[in-house]
Amino acid sequence: MIDNKTSFKPHRKSETSPSSGKTNSKNNQTSPNKKQLNKGSQQGYKSHARPAQKKTSNSNRQSREKPSKIKQDFNSGLSYGLKQDLQQVVKDLDLRRLGVNQLKEQVWHNPRFQAALAIKAVLEDKKTLTLNLDGIIDDVNKGFVAELAYGVLRYLPQLNYIANKLLAKPFEARCYFAHLCLLGALYQLIYLRQAEHAAVYENVELVKRLYGAGVSTVVNACLRNFLRQDDELIEESQKVLLMPNWLHKELSQRVPEQQYQAMVQAMNTKAPLWLRINPQKTTVQSFTQALNEAGIAYALHEHLPQALCITSPLDVKLIPGYNQGWFSVQDLHAQLAGVILAQALVEENNSLSLEAKIQAPTNKGAASNNGLQPVPLIVDTCCSPGGKTTHLLEMYPQAQMIATDIDAQRLTRVHDNLSRLEQQAQIICADARYPEQWLPKAVEIAMAHDSQCRQQNLEQPVDLMLLDIPCSGTGVIRRHPDIKWLRSMQDIERLSQIQYDILTNSWQYVAVGGKLLYVSCSIMGQENEQVIQRFLAQQNNVAVVSLDNFAEQNLDAQAIVPTSVGLQLINQIERGDGFYYCLLTKTA
């Protein structure tokens, strides 16, 4: 669908759019969390679809009678974003004992409670953590809440294992948050190595406010017990699988044994901070000098000249040149999309190969479009938040870029990124499965906007097509540990049909000799080479451009997993995320 308000407007440079338990219980499998985990999810793709707009809660709110005092308080600017009627919250969360006023005054602002709300929303309501955090937390608490929520979801089975060892019997369902507070406290003690006061006292106090002294005594006893035997319990819990069985089964079959353990370890470790230096605004030398002067440690990639890793991650806005657009935050393996496509524009034969050709264009070189005429027409579907769009525009600032995404809210981030980097693109809110609804018109506008962008065949006008398709996100679990608890095998099957549809329908618009890069941040064969194989079996005008030499010369062999077609990368500690790339060219 085309959102006409944001559609077809070339982005202007100046625009700124955008329990007392001691002993083990065999019944521990029935603890609230475990129960939720076993449910599975039908909504994996939703995380990529339209954001949960709280339509239901809004309409519920409207249908109630007079605005309550609480609502007025919200309207007059309570800083917490979970715009729900607190009465409803109290009812939904079974916190009647506490009541609205106490909830608001004593609990609502507590970061541990906010983290628990975010975790509950993932496990119970099947909402993505990013959206939950955006909706729940204020800036002051954000760092700590995110640390807690992401951490608990990352180590959930291990924390549940320890909690259930400590509890004589599981909490009653109504004490859901007591269980989450126990998990949060364990995470703080084990992984954040926080002082007892912060980890034990604060969580016990919160449980006391929520459920009274009886329940908080249980949590306190569990935590004291843990502190007496933490080494043994931690050691014992190392055997626990940190992902659902179905995912372990799929991945362990796909990834060779010698790479599997390292991949799983990386999956359960925080992602490194990779930057992409913008050759339109600075040079590698100037940027690294600025980092040196600011005392920020970094490491440059050995082959990709624009890729730089910040060795001790910090707020990116504190890195020199953020506002000036000197760099973008982008995972190492995500940066390959721009590199491969930019290279594909100048390669004539059916393989991408030479390291020497992967050069960051100089300011001058890029501005002159590397001598290519006419100006290439690039379509980047599924573009938000614009990491790859902006990379391509750094490489080819004169290209006519049409960038689309189905999610209007996520598109605001594309606008923001284009503004910060002073780049231009035609941004369209559209469904990539139906390019016939928006692509011809967008091409018409692109050509009207730039006389050099004259396509010979208007029915097949696209020189470069980037399909960064909606996927399970199994390659980026370390960034989004909620994925482990939101996705199911049925999601993978459903997604692979969507992926096939997007590929097939987009292909029609690629020019003869043009290139299409199929990209996913998934490690599942069903979403990657199986989609490509199905496509290849149906088409007689397509050739696969080999990425083997390119990968061999530029990437760590341990990151590459064998596939029948395309390039499958897995995540590595300190290196890139899991990605799949397949470059196709149209032969007739």
Ligand X SMILES: C[S@@+](CC[C@H](N)C(=O)[O-])C[C@H]1O[C@@H](n2cnc3c(N)ncnc32)[C@H](O)[C@@H]1O
User: For ligand X, which stretch binds (CB under 6 A), given 58-66, 153-161, 231-239, 406-414?
Assistant: 406-414
> If binding is defined by CB under 6 A, does position 383 make contact with ligand X?
yes
Shortest Cβ 429–ligand X spacing (Å): 9
Active-site pick, 175, 222, 382, 521: 521
Q: Is 73 marked as binding a ligand?
A: no
* Residue closer to ligand X, measured from CB, 216 or 328: 328
Burial 392-413 (b: 16+ CB within 10 A, else e): bbbbbbbbbbbbbbbbeebbbb
- Distance in angstroms (rounded) separating the CA atoms of residues 527 and 44: 13
The one-letter amino acid at 531? V
The per-type count for the chain, helices as H runs and strands as E runs, is 26, 14
Compute the Cα dihedral for 328, 384, 417, 392 and give only its sign. positive
- Distance in angstroms (rounded) separating the CA atoms of residues 193 and 488: 33
Q: Is 94 marked as binding a ligand?
A: no
Helix, strand or coil for residue 281? coil
* Residue closer to ligand X, measured from CB, 162 or 462: 462
| 322 phi-psi bin (left φ>0, alpha ψ -120 to 50, beta other) | alpha
Count CB-CB contacts under 10 A for residue 97. 12
> If binding is defined by CB under 6 A, does position 586 make contact with ligand X?
no
> If binding is defined by CB under 6 A, does position 407 make contact with ligand X?
yes
Count CB-CB contacts under 10 A for residue 140. 11
> If binding is defined by CB under 6 A, does position 381 make contact with ligand X?
yes
- Distance in angstroms (rounded) separating the CA atoms of residues 556 and 129: 31
* Residue closer to ligand X, measured from CB, 49 or 173: 49
> If binding is defined by CB under 6 A, does position 387 make contact with ligand X?
yes
> If binding is defined by CB under 6 A, does position 501 make contact with ligand X?
no
Find out whether the peptide bond into 374 is cis, omega within 30 degrees of 0.
Answer: yes
- Which parts of 137-176 interact with ligand X (CB under 6 A)? none
- Which parts of 441-480 interact with ligand X (CB under 6 A)? 468, 470
Which tokens is 141 given?
């608490």
Residue of the chain from 34, 333, 410, 515 that contacts ligand X (CB under 6 A): 410
- Distance in angstroms (rounded) separating the CA atoms of residues 281 and 420: 11
* Residue closer to ligand X, measured from CB, 28 or 381: 381
> If binding is defined by CB under 6 A, does position 435 make contact with ligand X?
no
Shortest Cβ 187–ligand X spacing (Å): 28
Which tokens is 22 given?
């001691």
Mark 13-52 with x for binding to ligand X (rule: CB under 6 A) and - for no binding.
-----------------------------------x----
The gap from C-alpha 280 to its chain's centroid, in whole angstroms, comes to 26
> If binding is defined by CB under 6 A, does position 402 make contact with ligand X?
no
521 counts as catalytic = yes
* Residue closer to ligand X, measured from CB, 111 or 338: 338
Shortest Cβ 122–ligand X spacing (Å): 18
User: For ligand X, which stretch binds (CB under 6 A), given 174-182, 248-256, 402-410, 569-577?
Assistant: 402-410
Shortest Cβ 533–ligand X spacing (Å): 21
Give the ranges where 191-334 is alpha helix by DSSP (H). 196, 202-211, 213-228, 230-237, 245-254, 257-267, 284-294
Shortest Cβ 53–ligand X spacing (Å): 14
Residue of the chain from 382, 399, 402, 443 that contacts ligand X (CB under 6 A): 382
User: For ligand X, which stretch binds (CB under 6 A), given 281-289, 317-325, 369-377, 398-406?
Assistant: 398-406
User: For ligand X, which stretch binds (CB under 6 A), given 12-20, 191-199, 404-412, 503-511?
Assistant: 404-412
- 306 contacts: CB under 8 Å, gap ≥ 6: 276, 277, 278, 279, 284, 335, 360
SS (H, E, C) 133-194: HHHHCCHHHHHHHHHHHHHHHHCHHHHHHHHHHHCCCCCCHHHHHHHHHHHHHHHHHHCCCC
- Distance in angstroms (rounded) separating the CA atoms of residues 269 and 256: 20
User: For ligand X, which stretch binds (CB under 6 A), given 183-191, 245-253, 344-352, 377-385?
Assistant: 377-385
Residue 464 contacts residue 344 (beta carbons within 8 Å) = yes
> If binding is defined by CB under 6 A, does position 388 make contact with ligand X?
yes
Residue of the chain from 272, 386, 435, 566 that contacts ligand X (CB under 6 A): 386
Q: Is 431 marked as binding a ligand?
A: yes
Helix, strand or coil for residue 565? coil
User: For ligand X, which stretch binds (CB under 6 A), given 28-36, 113-121, 299-307, 431-439?
Assistant: 431-439
How many residues sit in the footprint of ligand X (CB under 6 A)? 20
Residue of the chain from 202, 431, 527, 577 that contacts ligand X (CB under 6 A): 431
Which residues contribute to the site for ligand X (CB under 6 A)?
A: 48, 381-388, 404-407, 410, 431-433, 468, 470, 521
Indicate which residues carry an active-site annotation. Answer: 521
Q: What residue numbers does the annotated binding site for S-adenosyl-L-methionine cover?
A: 405, 431, 468
List binding-site positions: 405, 431, 468
